[in-house]
Structure 1
Amino acid sequence: MKIAYKIFIIICILFNFGCDSQKTVVDKKKVELSSSVNKISSNLSDEIKFKILLNYDKSITDIKIPEIGPLIKGLRIIEPSDKKTKNANRIYLEKIYTLQSDITGTFILPKVIVDYKENNIKKTISTGRIFVEVLAEDEKSDDSLEDIEEIDFIKTIKYQRDYRGFYALFALIILIIILYFLYKKYSQETWEEQDLTAHEWVNEALIEFQSKKYLEQAMYKEFYQSLSYIYRGFLSKRFNTNALESTREELLISLNKVEELKSFTDKLQQFFKEDEMAKFADIYPKVETMKSSIFLLNAIVEKTVLLEESQEQEWEEVDE
């Protein structure tokens, strides 16, 4: 369970790393200029707001919105206004012409051309012309008309994607799958590669277990890990259960169905509970209690070995 939990945490971390996006930094232009009107089609009594916006980096010099009032033909300038704001890095200029017409027709608002210097190099930026339609009071405007000539197309921004995290996550998943199948193969070969009965296998496992002298060295967690594996291996081989991969609850449910183990049910339940407390909480019973777990396994082995031998004799008689 602890290993699975750690693997899950690693997968989550790598997945998060793989999902991290790199912000594509789009350099803001040193100088930006635009012009617009509040309505492209109006009536004689309406006011038209012609707005010019200019914003630029503080490093730009010799720049301003030019006076284009004399270039506006056919429309009266009622009220011009100017506005200037600043922030840490840029300056924003705004000029608005309030216009009105005395006659109907189509009028052209001129281009706005701004000259400036960037690093002592002269440059120019401009807007497109704007077409404005003025109608009589009883006429309706045509919404299909376009107001600005020479509109710049929206630029396509290419995003840089970082797939390294996904590659690492994919590689980790493949590695986990390989390790899982290797574990399955190893755990099966541990007791299936030799033609040993369940009791022959458990006797050899117990001899090796006793040679480790876990209790003498106060290696209590290792004691339970090793003895629990022997318990589960024996129960799996002797009673054909999935003891090695079952949880404690699943294992006890399957063992309750085995008639030969009815008298050991409570003690088995107590042992596997102690096993989990030792593995996951580092809580251990008294040494005498741990020793009794070995005696319990020996008792189960002794009781079931007679049944196994009698079954083998019956099978031999049937074969004859």
Structure 2
Amino acid sequence: MKKYLFLITLLGILTGKAVAQSVTVDATIDSLQIYIGDQAKIKLQVALDADKRAIFPVYTDTLVRGVEIIDVAKADTQYINDNKRMLITQEYTVTSFDSALYYLPPMEVMVDNKAYRSKALALKVYSMNVPLDPENPEQFFGPKTVMQAPFVWEDWYGIITCGILLIPLALLLIYLIMRICDNKPIIRKVKVEPKLPPHQQAMKEIERIKSEKVWQKGQSKEYYTELTDALRTYIRGRFGFNALEMTSSEIIEKLLEMEDKEAIADLRTLFQTADLVKFAKHAPLMNENDANLINAIDFINETKEVEAENVKPQPTEITIIEKRSLRTKILLGIGIAVLTASLIGALTYIGMQLYSYFA
């Protein structure tokens, strides 16, 4: 008795395992008969264990010759039997444009490299031949009265916009045409500010050098270069010779011919110190740098031209007459051409729209 119970139990286990591992493929169609151009849906369902993977058939654009596939829906997966089994559904939408009885072969699904096939289907496609009475052609559809189309503002937005733009475009076009036709020269008035006297310009530069205090940063060469350049520029403006292109000794000799020796003595010391710093890497003392700055200021004050009191130079106004350049004429011509094309396009658009509405 125990032996029979063991065999029955073993058989049940094996049977349950076989059932659990079975794969079923089923195909159904929602309509066996359709008219030309109508649609039918083929549903392909696969039941398999949850740990398996199914590969559905891939079609290009036809199921069989004469039956076209319109759409393939996304596969839908449902878990059953406590998530041990899966039910996967794939839906295909088909149509046909030739009347015939079509045989739809079994659809093949691959599960673990093994093919499973559904049952075959059939689809009957009918032509839509509806008999008409030639003596009564309006038996299905009665005569229709002429309907007046309703007024819709959206249909007129383009015409209104183009109409509004026509006015500024036309005014601008007229302005450009007048500009290119008159061909008058361009007259401009420019105010020229008076140039500072040489001593004022030199003192302004020296104040800048004094405020930066580059000699306190160990930049003695830069300090003496800027200071002597300011003095050379002053000498050129005050005495009329190009001191910027002359050596220090040449400047001193030229000044001795024009000024007294007392005014130039301190300037000679300044130039000598500057030459030593720039060419012999001389390191002057702090009080020496301050003394040379004072010597430069004293030289300017002793040699500057005497100005009239309370007299400030006024800016002069210069009138400049310029002929219109070729570039300006070209730009005016391009602007006229673009505006003309825009006006013609806008008028054409308005005319076509009005014709379509009232024709």
Q: Same fold (TM over 0.5)?
A: no
TM-score after normalising by structure 1: 0.34
Structure with higher Rg: it is 2
